Amino acid sequence: MPRISQQHKELNRARIVAAASEGFRARGLDGVGIDELMKTAGMTHGGFYNHFGSKEDLALEVLHQGFADSLRDLARIVEAHPRSARAGLQAILDTYLSTDHRDHPELGCASAALAVDAARHGVQTQTEYQRGLDGYLAAITDLLLAAATQTGTKLDLAKARQEAIAIFSQLVGAQIIARAVARSDSTLSDEVLAATRKHLWRA
């Protein structure tokens, strides 16, 4: 039987991670089994263990890649507003608190989609979540400092980080709540996102 090339193996691994990324973000780490993930990826159950030692190892990879992708998206938004850090921040708020982000958790930020899962799983999962969170907080802190410099406002690093924590907590919390009632009361769900956007715009 011919051996699978390293390139083919890497492609198979990427397919598994892609299937798990969408599945986990849509239904949670415990909401999708290995059989279903491998079927979605077009492979058999047994092939899973050629790439990952356990489902937990896969979850760590999904968190790592999910946050990396989200942070790249955030950087692209910032780069699209080179003359105004404030405009960049507002664009991030609009994107994160959009109904499109709410309605497609499988394609959205891992922070909101997997926050509850991270709280319920072990220290390794929480550590990986924390790495992603640290990246978001650092990026928002830098934006706030840049905006302060551009407007001549006094803002030190400690205060900027405090504001970044508050902003990101509201972004994630609003998405979690909006998704929690999206089907039972779409008007309330929309209101949660709109009210949070309005509040953060004034901040």
Q: What is d(CA 25, CA 40) in angstroms, rounded to the nearest whole number?
A: 15
The set of residues, in sequence order, having a beta carbon less than 8 Å from that of 108 and lying 6+ positions away, is 25, 101, 175
> End-to-end CA distance of the chain, in Å?
63
CA neighbor of 203 nearest in space, from 160, 139, 156: 160
Q: Looking at the domain assignment, is residue 42 inside a domain?
A: no
Q: Looking at the domain assignment, is residue 49 inside a domain?
A: no
CATH for 132:
1.10.357.10
Q: What is d(CA 122, CA 54) in angstroms, rounded to the nearest whole number?
A: 14
> What is the structure's pLDDT at 7?
82
In tens, the pLDDT along 89-115 reads 999 999 999 999 999 999 999 999 999
Distance (Å) of CA 102 to CA 51, 135, 196: 31, 22, 13
Q: Looking at the domain assignment, is residue 20 inside a domain?
A: no
Q: Looking at the domain assignment, is residue 71 inside a domain?
A: yes
pLDDT for 3 beyond 80: no
Buried b (16+ CB within 10 A) or exposed e, 69-84: ebbeebeebbeebeee
| Mean per-residue pLDDT, 70-82 | 94
Distance (Å) of CA 123 to CA 60, 67, 91, 119, 198: 11, 17, 33, 9, 35
pTM of the predicted model as reported, rounded to 2 decimal places: 0.89
Q: Looking at the domain assignment, is residue 104 inside a domain?
A: yes
Percent of the chain at pLDDT > 90 equals 90
Distance (Å) of CA 126 to CA 14, 36, 76: 23, 25, 27
pLDDT for 68 beyond 80: yes
In tens, the pLDDT along 122-176 reads 999 999 999 999 999 999 999 999 999 999 999 999 999 999 999 999 999 999 9
pLDDT for 203 beyond 80: no
Q: What is the 3-class SS of 44-101, one letter each residue?
A: CHHHHHHCCCCHHHHHHHHHHHHHHHHHHHHHHHHHCCCCCHHHHHHHHHHHHCCHHH
Q: Looking at the domain assignment, is residue 146 inside a domain?
A: yes
Least confident of 1-10, 63-72, 109-118, 168-177: 1-10
The token duo for 104 is 């497609």
| Mean per-residue pLDDT, 13-29 | 94
Q: Looking at the domain assignment, is residue 77 inside a domain?
A: yes
Q: Give how many domains the chain has, as a whole number.
A: 1
The token duo for 34 is 């290995």
**Stronger pLDDT, 99 or 10, i.e. the higher one:** 99
Tell me which residue range forms the domain holding 147: 54-202
